[in-house]
Amino acid sequence: MAINQTTRTERPSLAVELAGIRLRNPVMPASGTFGYGEEYAPFLDLEEIGAIVTKGLSLKPKAGNPTPRIAETISGMLNAIGLQNVGIDAFRKHKVPFLRTVNTPVIVNFFGNTLEEYGAVAEQLAEIPEIAGAELNISCPNVKQGGIVFGTDPKAAGEVVSLVRRKFSRPLIVKLTPNVTDITVIAKVVEEAGADAITCINTLTGMSIDIRTRKPRLANRTGGLSGPAIRPIAVRMVHQVVQAVSIPVIGVGGIVRPMDALEFLIAGARAVQVGTANFVDPTAMLTITQGIEEFCVEEGIDDINQVIGSLRY
Amino acid sequence: MKNIRTKILSNQEISPGYFRMRILAPGYERKARAGQFVMFRVQRSLPPLLRRPFGIFRTGFLPSDCDDMPPIEFVEILYKVVGRGTTIMAELHEGDRVELLGPLGNGFDLTATGGEKILVGGGIGLVPLYMLASELVESSSVRLLMGGRTRDDILAVTEFERLGVETYVSTDDGSLGEEGLVTHVLERKLQKYPDAKVFACGPLPMLKAVREKCLAYQAPLQVSLEEFMACGVGACLGCVVKGAGHTEEAPSYLCTCTAGPVFKSEYLDWSSLGTTQTECGGCT
């Protein structure tokens, strides 16, 4: 009797291991939707999320695109922020001291305009011991150079990942763009080049027009579409990539509710990222984590790893 | 600042196309400062996906239903129906569940006490000026210059008068008050009160005209800006405006949500403001 009670009240384990990083649960923010962590500290306990993923960093500070930078669409939003960020030096000086006080793995997202810049940022990141891992952005649709240029060409993708791999020995995650004909081609190249994990997907390139002014709603004309509108595409691509590679995959795209996150996990994602939903509800990641736990209890599952990749046909 | 799940106390049309919503908001009476805003969300509704930013009109207390219960704290927002989000809001009723993130933003700088204060409001831009007026009347002589296209755009003027604010109304079509632009009234007041400090909120063309007058009369100016934003807390970087001295080489982008929404005029790059603005954020 007493044993039964203990069993019943025991909470399921949500911990997962991602390329050597141990996460207390599989829920983390998507880069660019969570600032540098500190912005959301007033609203949620940063020690209740799986990891902190920073805004994409570059070698030098970057100003970003002209405004308007965002527009809402049905069940989604378009953004063309243009990778505005404080740069690696300011990150180290002004953001790391805060992150050091938080007992949660920090994953730094980064990008470069050229191959050399990617390498230079990786070298600098290697010198910041507080970083658990790095997420290499080869998929931003909103800047002319860098980003997507490397993410849509298999050869360029392989080169940049190999270079960064040589300079950064801790866990290296590569974030892929969905704006390609076959995402598995890039995924395989990235794996071969030494990536420890893959994040998919970044935003889908989109456009929206104001019919009265006949102008694009974004100054950049096009932007990246995120939010629930893209979720089925993201689930499909995660499913494809999981089949194609043997390294872990982080699923991202339109997760708002716990059941959305569970779709990705069942498709085989080792962890998930929450993006646009953070803007709508700063506590979204906590609600999602709680819901995942409740699902496990309802399904009689004591370890989230039993859910991961449990897709049935 | 925090996110509260709460409910609507009332939601009434106060002028054609303009609504006043009163929301149960514990803590706001104590915490909210003049010029701050909230991110509003209809609970469990999608669309609209994103929250909408609204300036705080005022906060206050209602007597509780029971004698031994504390009074009920509320926040009021005024809004104009312009797109899908505000259309949905206009159909909400007392008791409907909503979420508020706030109070957010910096608010007006009220360190300069005494003397003459001139507030300039254009249409719905009047919203952040009410709490400002109620604080300024404590130590200053306050005048409100309220402008709109027609009489329908002139809101809540009697409430300002009850605070002891002298009000001057102007409309483009002369349907209420003086016919003409609010900046004409401003010019006369600046001639009469050369040491006045000016606070303004309204459509961008009006703000630009107000700024020209203030430059001409060397009157210090604070403006409250409106921009599309996704998060309201400085993370999405969607609501930036260019700061004074912005160049391609040394760019300066300021978040309207955290560096603003109130800016001292001299901190802004006015030539770039509004060059790419559209009427509504989207969601069509």
Please write the tens of the pLDDT for every residue from B76-88. 999 999 888 889 9
**pLDDT for A199:** 97
Residue B282 has pLDDT above 90, yes or no: no
DSSP bridge partners of A210: A215
Kindly indicate the confidence band of residue A141, based on its pLDDT and cuts at 50, 70 and 90: low
Residue B44 has pLDDT above 80, yes or no: no
Burial of A52 (0-12, 13-18, 19+ CB in 10 A): buried
Residue A202 has pLDDT above 50, yes or no: yes
| Mean pLDDT, rounded, for B201-216 | 94
**Distance in Å, alpha carbon of B247 to nearest chain A alpha carbon:** 10
**Tens digits of per-residue pLDDT, B86-120?**
899 999 999 999 999 999 999 999 887 778 999 99
**pLDDT for A64:** 87
Question: B residues 245-284 near A, CB within 8 Å?
Answer: 251, 253, 276-284
Q: Does the residue A215 lie in any domain?
A: no
DSSP bridge partners of A134: A108, A172
Burial of A125 (0-12, 13-18, 19+ CB in 10 A): buried
Is A200 labeled as catalytic in the residue annotation? no
Residue B35 has pLDDT above 60, yes or no: yes
Whether residue B278 and residue A215 make contact (CB cut-off 8 A), yes or no, is yes
Residue A148 has pLDDT above 80, yes or no: no
Whether residue B240 and residue A69 make contact (CB cut-off 8 A), yes or no, is yes
Q: Among all residues of chain A, which has the CA nearest to that of B246?
A: A63
What percent of chain A has a predicted confidence (pLDDT) above 70? Answer: 95
Residues of B in contact with A81 (CB under 8 A): 236-238
Residue A3 has pLDDT above 60, yes or no: no
Q: Does the residue A148 lie in any domain?
A: yes
**pLDDT for B283:** 40
Q: Among all residues of chain B, which has the CA nearest to that of A36?
A: B235
How many CA atoms within 13 Å lie on the side-chain side of A74?
1
Q: Does the residue A313 lie in any domain?
A: no
Q: Is B48 on the interface with A (CB under 8 A)?
A: yes
Residue A294 has pLDDT above 60, yes or no: yes
Residues of B in contact with A227 (CB under 8 A): 49
Q: Does the residue A142 lie in any domain?
A: yes
**pLDDT for A172:** 98
Residues of A in contact with B282 (CB under 8 A): 71-73, 78, 208, 217
- Which residue type does A226 have? S
Q: Could you list the beta-strand ranges (E) of chain A.
A: 16-18, 21-23, 27-29, 52-53, 70-73, 76-79, 106-110, 133-137, 172-175, 197-200, 204-207, 209-210, 215-216, 222-226, 249-252, 271-274
**pLDDT for B47:** 76
Q: Is B51 on the interface with A (CB under 8 A)?
A: yes
- CATH code where residue A204 lies: 3.20.20.70
Q: Does the residue A312 lie in any domain?
A: no
| Mean pLDDT, rounded, for A56-83 | 91
Residue B226 has pLDDT above 80, yes or no: yes
Pick the range with the lowest mean pLDDT from A24-28, A54-58, B98-102, B111-115: B111-115
pLDDT, greater one: B65 or A278: A278
Q: Among all residues of chain A, which has the CA nearest to that of B243?
A: A63
**Tens digits of per-residue pLDDT, B155-189?**
999 999 999 999 999 999 999 999 999 999 999 99
What percent of chain B has a predicted confidence (pLDDT) above 70? Answer: 95
Structure tokens at A312: 């049935």
How many CA atoms within 13 Å lie on the side-chain side of B248?
0
Q: Is A42 on the interface with B (CB under 8 A)?
A: yes
Rounded CA-CA distance A197/A191 in Å is 8
Kindly indicate the confidence band of residue A147, based on its pLDDT and cuts at 50, 70 and 90: low
Give the count of domains, chain A.
Answer: 1
**Tens digits of per-residue pLDDT, A230-286?**
999 999 999 999 999 999 999 999 999 999 999 999 999 999 999 999 999 999 999
A68 vs B3, B99, B228: nearest CB = B228
* Mutation to test the A interface, candidates B46, B86, B87, B278, most A Cβ within 10 Å: B278
How many CA atoms within 13 Å lie on the side-chain side of A271?
31
A77 vs B46, B230, B280: nearest CB = B230
Residues of B in contact with A230 (CB under 8 A): none
Residues of A in contact with B51 (CB under 8 A): 279-280
Whether residue B282 and residue A283 make contact (CB cut-off 8 A), yes or no, is no
Residue A6 has pLDDT above 50, yes or no: no
Residues of B in contact with A84 (CB under 8 A): 237, 240, 253
- DSSP codes of every residue in chain B: -EEEEEEEEEEEEEETTEEEEEEE-TTHHHH--TT-EEEEEETT--SS-S-EEEE--EEEEE--SSTTSPPEEEEEEEEE--SHHHHHHHT--TT-EEEEEEEES--------SSEEEEEEEGGGGTTHHHHHHHHTTTSEEEEEEEESSGGG--SHHHHHHTT-EEEEEETTSSSSEES-HHHHHHHHHHH-TT-EEEEES-HHHHHHHHHHHHHTT--EEEE-----SSSSSSS--SEEEBTT--SSS--EEETTTT-SEEEGGGB-GGGTTTT--SS-B--
**pLDDT for B182:** 94
Q: Does the residue A23 lie in any domain?
A: yes
Question: A residues 144-173 near B, CB within 8 Å?
Answer: none
Q: Does the residue A223 lie in any domain?
A: no
Question: A residues 230-289 near B, CB within 8 Å?
Answer: 256, 276, 278-283
**pLDDT for B277:** 47
Mean pLDDT for chain A? 93
Pick the range with the lowest mean pLDDT from A309-313, B131-135, B228-232: B228-232
**pLDDT for A198:** 98
Mean pLDDT for chain B? 90
Structure tokens at B145: 């210059």
Considering the candidates A132, A140, A143, A234, report the single residue annotated as catalytic. A140
Rounded CA-CA distance A71/B4 in Å is 25
Residue B127 has pLDDT above 80, yes or no: yes
Q: Among all residues of chain A, which has the CA nearest to that of B41?
A: A280
Domain housing A288: 2-65+81-209+229-306
**pLDDT for B281:** 42
Instruction: State the ipTM, two decimals.
Output: 0.87
**Tens digits of per-residue pLDDT, A83-136?**
888 899 999 999 999 999 999 999 999 999 888 999 999 999 999 999 999 999
**pLDDT for A143:** 62
Whether residue B227 and residue A72 make contact (CB cut-off 8 A), yes or no, is no
Q: Is A67 on the interface with B (CB under 8 A)?
A: yes
Q: Does the residue A219 lie in any domain?
A: no
Residue A75 has pLDDT above 50, yes or no: yes
Could you tell me which residues come within 8 angstroms of residue B32 by beta carbon, excluding any fewer than 6 positions away?
A: B56, B59, B75, B102, B103, B131
Report the SS3 class of residue A66. coil
Kindly indicate the confidence band of residue A1, based on its pLDDT and cuts at 50, 70 and 90: very low
Structure tokens at A192: 């071969």
**pLDDT for A142:** 61
Kindly indicate the confidence band of residue A63, based on its pLDDT and cuts at 50, 70 and 90: confident
Q: Do B260 and B105 meet the contact criterion of CB atoms below 8 Å apart?
A: yes
Edge to edge, the sheet with strand A27-29 lists: A27-29, A271-274, A249-252, A197-200, A172-175, A133-137, A106-110, A52-53
Q: Is A83 on the interface with B (CB under 8 A)?
A: no
